[in-house]
């Protein structure tokens, strides 16, 4: 749902600001999981303030519905964007992933794990400039300093980390799950296919993920750089202690191209002036 309430008036010219409205029907909510899930989402979204993360501006709690007034992102889902393009160049991928890594670093620095990163939860604020924003914090969890591991089985199967689906009653995991999901998205961006899928078995999808079984198939990967493949390997590492952190991913050679930093700095200098008062 899209609304355009009046934001401000300068002289005789009215300025309108568009917002998105997320409507939650209380009749579909249980007393435990969904209400807690909504509570977590609102806490997370109120706390965040980053140019590559969708913001929430207000909340209206009515008798039968809850209305979340959110930032409007105009160019649709990254899923549709990548589906139409089939795949991205390495240069385009760097532009997108500089924003994604920066946004996830911001979340992780604030002890927040997204837990459901996938192309459908990345929105295009400006497709022509490859500007993206991470959305849908419905599965996010604020991690207190004494609660650094999460035990809920969640996330989308194609992008879920192996520790989330581990066959153990003592399953636990942390923010590293986001890095695995970004590794899957990075793989998709560069070749247009998923690294894990039922049709690639045996073994089945979940077992492929558990053991980290994937390949750089020819001819799709023939012209992709070794640095790109190495970054994917670092992200799609089953052992969480060896998986790249977001800071390590940002420092990876694949991301170290001067023109991408110049482009990104020009693209975001205005936003960072607002958010970080540089």
Contact 252, 229 (CB under 8 A): no
For residue 159 the two structure tokens come to 């992008």
Q: Could you tell me which of 247, 221, 245 has the C-alpha nearest to residue 235?
A: 245
Q: Tell me the angle at which helices 258-276 and 90-109 cross, rounded to the nearest 10 degrees.
A: 40
Rg (CA), the chain: 20
Q: Which of 116, 178, 207, 222 is catalytic?
A: 116
- Catalytic-residue membership of 80: no
Tokens 């946004």, residue located:
103
Q: Could you tell me which of 27, 24, 19, 22 has the C-alpha nearest to residue 2?
A: 19
Instruction: Report the DSSP beta bridge partners of residue 141.
Output: 113
Contact 237, 264 (CB under 8 A): no
Where helices occur in the chain by DSSP H, the ranges are 33-47, 78-85, 90-109, 176-191, 205-211, 226-235, 246-250, 258-276
What count of residues does the chain have?
278
- The DSSP element (H or E) to which 59 belongs, if any, is strand 56-61
Q: Hey, which residues are catalytic here?
A: 116
């Amino acid at each position: 749902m899209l609304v355009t309430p009046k934001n401000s008036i300068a002289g005789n010219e009215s300025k309108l600001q568009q917002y998105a409205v997320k409507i939650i029907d209380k009749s579909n909510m249980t007393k435990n999981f969904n209400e807690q899930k909504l509570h977590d989402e609102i806490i997370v979204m109120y706390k965040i303030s980053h140019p590559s993360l969708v913001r929430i501006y207000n909340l209206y709690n009515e008798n039968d519905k809850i209305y979340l007034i959110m930032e409007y992102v105009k160019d649709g889902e990254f899923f549709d964007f990548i589906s139409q393009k089939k795949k991205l160049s390495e240069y385009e991928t760097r532009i997108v992933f500089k924003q994604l890594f920066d946004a996830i670093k911001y979340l992780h620095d604030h002890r927040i794990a997204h837990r459901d990163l996938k192309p459908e939860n990345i929105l295009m604020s400006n497709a022509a400039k490859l500007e993206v924003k991470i959305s849908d914090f419905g599965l996010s969890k604020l991690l207190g300093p004494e609660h650094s591991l999460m035990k809920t089985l969640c996330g989308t199967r194609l992008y879920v980390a192996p520790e989330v689906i581990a066959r153990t009653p003592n399953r636990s995991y942390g923010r590293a799950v986001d890095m695995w999901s970004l590794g899957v998205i990075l793989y998709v961006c560069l070749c247009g296919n998923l690294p894990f899928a039922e049709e690639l078995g045996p073994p089945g999808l979940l077992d492929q993920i558990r053991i980290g079984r994937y390949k750089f198939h020819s001819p799709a990967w023939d012209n992709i750089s070794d640095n790109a493949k190495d970054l994917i390997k670092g992200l799609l590492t089953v052992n969480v202690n060896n998986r790249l952190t977001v800071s390590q991913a940002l420092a990876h050679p694949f991301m170290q191209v001067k023109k991408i930093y110049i482009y990104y700095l020009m693209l975001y200098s205005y936003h960072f002036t607002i958010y970080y008062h540089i």
